[in-house]
Amino acid sequence: MPHQLHQVRSEKQILSHFLFTNKIADYATLKVLLLQPSSPLLSAYINSFLKDDDSQKYLDVLLHYYDSHNLLPHLLLSLASFEIKSTNICNPLFRGNTLFSRIYSLYLTEYCSFFLTETSKALLNFLSAIHYDDKINNQEDISVIITTYFSLISDSFKYIPQELLWVLHCIYQKVLISRGKSDAMISINTLFFLRYLFIPFKETPSLFKIIQSQISSIFLHLQTVEHNEQTKPIVDLIDCILNKIYCITSPHSTHPKMFDSSSDNELLFILRSNKDLILSNYEGDPCDLSSLFSQHKTSTVPINSHSDK
C-alpha cells in the first residue's frame, strides 16, 4: 500500500509539472504572437471583439494583459500602426473616438497625469486663485499667463514619462515614413498637445484657443517661423520637447508591475472559447495558433472587470 501511494503521488507530481510547463509555454507563445510587428492575433482580437458597442469586457481583458506585462506602450504602438495603415491618406490621423484614441486617453490618465498636474493644472489652479475670468481677454494678463505657463513646462520637463516619449518617437517615425514630415509633426501636435497637455484647458475655452494658437501654430511651422523676442521662448520650448521625442530609444518603464498570470489565463480563455471567430479574422498563418488551440485547451476562467486600468 505505501508503495502504491508513493506511485500515485509521483504520477500526480509528474502531471502537475507537465501542466505547469505546458501553461508556461502557452504564456510564452501568446506573448510572442501579440508582440510581433502588425500582430495578426491582435488584429483578429480587435476585429472579433472590439468593433461593437458591447466590447468593454474584452477591452478590459486586453488592457489587463498588456498592463500586467508592462507592455501598454507596445499596445499603443501596435494600435497606432493599425490606424496609420487603415486611415485614408487624405484624412488626419488620431482624431475622433478610435480604439487607439480611447486607450491612449486611458493610458495618459493612468500613468502620465503628474506632468499635467505640474503644468496645465498648476496654471489653472493659479488662475482660479486670482479669479481669472476666461470671458475677458486682457492682453497684459494673457502675456503673463503664457509666460507663467512656459515656465511651468520648462521646470517640469523631467516629469514627462519616458514611456510616453518613446511611444511618440515611434509614432513620429512611422508617420514620417508613410506620410512625410508634415503629417508626422501634425500627429505629434495632436497626441502631445491637443490630446494631452491642453486637455485641462477645456474648462477655459478662450484660454485654450489662445494657448493653442501660441504653441501649435509655431510647432507646425517651426522651420519657417520668424525668430524674434516674442517667438523665441515658444521655439525654445518646442525644440526641447522635440529633442526629447527624437532622442528617446527605449520604453523605460517608471511603473513596473509583478507578473500576473490571471491576465494570460483570461485572454487565453477568450481566444479558445472563440476559436472559430478568431480564425475567421486571422490574416496570418493559422498554423501559428495551433499550439494555443490544440487538444481543446479550454478551462473555466472568470473574466473580471479591469476598467480601472
What CATH number should be reported for the domain holding residue 203? 1.10.506
Model confidence pLDDT, tens digit, residues 224-266: 887 777 788 889 989 999 999 999 888 766 666 776 789 999 9
Determine, yes or no, domain membership for 280: no
Burial of 223 (0-12, 13-18, 19+ CB in 10 A): exposed
pLDDT of residue 2: 57
pLDDT of residue 63: 95
Range of the domain at 236: 81-256
Determine, yes or no, domain membership for 301: no
Instruction: Give which of 271, 295, 304 is closest to 40, Cα–Cα.
Output: 271
Q: Which residues contact 170 (CB under 8 A, 6 or more apart)?
A: 77, 80
Residue 269 reports pLDDT greater than 70:
yes
d(CA 288, CA 274): 16
d(CA 35, CA 41): 9
Residue 20 reports pLDDT greater than 50:
no
pLDDT of residue 308: 47
d(CA 182, CA 220): 8
Number of domains present in the structure of the chain: 1
pLDDT of residue 13: 52
Determine, yes or no, domain membership for 209: yes
pLDDT of residue 65: 96
Determine, yes or no, domain membership for 63: no
Model confidence pLDDT, tens digit, residues 128-164: 998 888 888 788 788 889 889 999 999 999 999 999 9
Residue 222 reports pLDDT greater than 50:
yes
User: How sure is the predictor about 191, in pLDDT bands with cuts at 50, 70 and 90?
Assistant: very high
Residue 4 reports pLDDT greater than 80:
no
Query: Which residue's C-alpha cell is 458597442?
Result: 53
pLDDT of residue 135: 86
Model confidence pLDDT, tens digit, residues 273-308: 999 999 999 999 999 999 898 855 555 455 555 544
| Mean pLDDT, all residues of the chain | 87
Determine, yes or no, domain membership for 19: no
Model confidence pLDDT, tens digit, residues 67-121: 999 999 999 999 999 999 999 999 999 999 999 999 999 999 999 999 999 999 9
pLDDT of residue 244: 92
Contact 82, 100 (CB under 8 A): yes
d(CA 171, CA 74): 11
Return the higher-pLDDT residue of 32 and 24: 32
Determine, yes or no, domain membership for 51: no
Indicate the residue type of 29: T
pLDDT of residue 185: 96
Rg, the chain, Cα only: 24
Determine, yes or no, domain membership for 120: yes
d(CA 46, CA 75): 12
Determine, yes or no, domain membership for 176: yes
pLDDT of residue 224: 81
Residue 40 reports pLDDT greater than 70:
yes
Instruction: Give which of 305, 231, 273 is closest to 61, Cα–Cα.
Output: 305
